[in-house]
Amino acid sequence: MSRAGDSVAVPAAAGDLDESQAQLGWAARERRRPIIQAAARRTLRRRRLAGKLVQALCVLCAAIGLAPLVALVYYTADRGLPGISLSFLTNAPVPEGVPGGGISTAIAGSAEIVGLALVMAIPVGLLAALFLHERRGRLAAGIRFGADMLTGVPSIVIGIFAYALLVRPLHHFSDLAASFALAVLMLPIMIRADEEAMRTVAMDLWEAGVALGARRSRVARSVVLRGALPGLVTGNLLAVSRGVGETAPLLFTVAAPSFAMTLLIYTDGTQPFPSDQQTAWATALVLLMFVLILSGLARVVAWRLTRRAR
């Protein structure tokens, strides 16, 4: 008694099967068999066709999605590679029209800004994550919610915040303000990633440590932080790779574009001169390589350390 349409020709439940078999005789069941088979064959053909169609669409989607990503990496490599040389990496920028010149100040500036941001963000992130790890209740839930909200705040808004807090009152642009902006940007990502990593350490171990009379700081260091190390490294590296590539928070905080790689790409890339655009491509390639290596490293570290822990 299969209904036509898209239905699958099976009984709704095992109980029905037993009942119907008990009620119907052998002959009756044999009479129904071809009807059921025909219905199944009819719908199956349609269902298989729909499946094939959708599978083709999925393959198409994958191709459409992959094409721009491949093109993006390909063009950056293709246009950037000719501009990269040792002198490009070690020389200071020169004005338009002067041959030579490099991006050493931008690389050093980016490293300094991100490094200072890490010094600010990592300890606060770890301690705040430990706070969330050991405490329950409204405050912890509120901080967690706040971190999720701050993760979603656009980086340009954070840049404006740093400008209003550190640039305007002090009347000059500074790397400190840029680092502060990046730290605010990375902090919520770090807190959530750190807490997630700490959650993989069983609460029993923490309780055992505390029951042994160890100080909370000792338990945090020897049990929680050590156990969560792979996750901590991965989460923080990913946060760094996000911070390195940010442009908007630096826009209103760094003194000159030649003091950060992302700003240099923005200002040189929007110039009409081919030599400036060449510099932008090469800088973009350096930045892209750096970010991809950081991101790849995060995954390798996670993989290696998880294997060792097992």
Partner 1 sequence: MTALSGAASLDSLKETLRHRHDRRGGRAYVLARWAAAGLFVAVLLGLVVSIAIDSSQAIAHSGIGFLWSGTWNPAANQYGAGILVVGTVVTTGVAMVIVVPVGLGMAAFLSELAPRWLAGPLSMAIDLLAAVPSIVVGLWALLVLSPVFANHVEPFFKSIPVLEWLFHGPAYGPSILLASVVLAVMTLPTVVALSRTALSGVALADREAAMALGATHWQVIREVVFPGARSGIAASLTLAVGRALGESIAVAMVIGNNPSVPHSLVAPGATLGSAIVNQFAEASPGIGTSSVIALAAVLLVLTLAVNAGGQAMLRGMGPGRPARVRKTRVAQ
In the region spanning residues 264 to 293, those forming contacts with partner 1, defined by CB under 8 A, are 265-266, 269-270, 277, 280-281, 284, 287-288, 291-292
Tell whether residue 147 is a contact of partner 1 (CB under 8 A): yes
Nearest one of 291, 262, 295, 287 to 89, comparing CA atoms: 287
> Which of residues 89 and 157 has its CB atom nearest to partner 1 in the complex?
157
Spatial distance between the Cα atoms of 166 and 255, rounded to a whole number of angstroms: 13
- The single residue among 17, 157, 208, 211 that binds partner 1, judged by CB under 8 A, is 157
> Which of residues 155 and 227 has its CB atom nearest to partner 1 in the complex?
155
Spatial distance between the Cα atoms of 65 and 217, rounded to a whole number of angstroms: 48
Tokens of 287: 């930045």
Q: How many CB atoms lie within 10 A of CB 236?
A: 22
Instruction: Looking at residues 168 to 187 of the shown chain, list those that interact with partner 1 (rule: CB under 8 A).
Output: 184, 187
Residue 285's SS3 state is helix
Per-position x/- string for 181-220, each x denoting binding to partner 1 as judged by CB under 8 A, each - no binding: ---x--x---x---------------------x-xxx--x
> Which of residues 258 and 262 has its CB atom nearest to partner 1 in the complex?
262
Q: How many CB atoms lie within 10 A of CB 83?
A: 20
Spatial distance between the Cα atoms of 126 and 147, rounded to a whole number of angstroms: 13
> Which of residues 126 and 223 has its CB atom nearest to partner 1 in the complex?
126
Tell whether residue 305 is a contact of partner 1 (CB under 8 A): no
Nearest distance, CB of residue 17 and partner 1, angstroms: 12
Nearest one of 169, 153, 172, 170 to 249, comparing CA atoms: 153
Q: Check: CB of residue 197 under 8 Å from CB of residue 232.
A: yes
Tell whether residue 27 is a contact of partner 1 (CB under 8 A): no
Q: Check: CB of residue 125 under 8 Å from CB of residue 143.
A: no
Per-position x/- string for 98-137, each x denoting binding to partner 1 as judged by CB under 8 A, each - no binding: -------------------------xxxxxx-xxx-x---
Spatial distance between the Cα atoms of 302 and 307, rounded to a whole number of angstroms: 9
**DSSP strand E in 50-174: where?**
none
How far does the chain reach from its first CA to its final CA, in angstroms? 54
> Which of residues 73 and 92 has its CB atom nearest to partner 1 in the complex?
73
Nearest distance, CB of residue 113 and partner 1, angstroms: 14
Q: Tell me how many residues contact partner 1 (CB under 8 A).
A: 102
Instruction: Looking at residues 36 to 95 of the shown chain, list those that interact with partner 1 (rule: CB under 8 A).
Output: 40, 44, 47-48, 50-51, 54-55, 57-62, 64-66, 68-69, 71-73, 75-76, 79
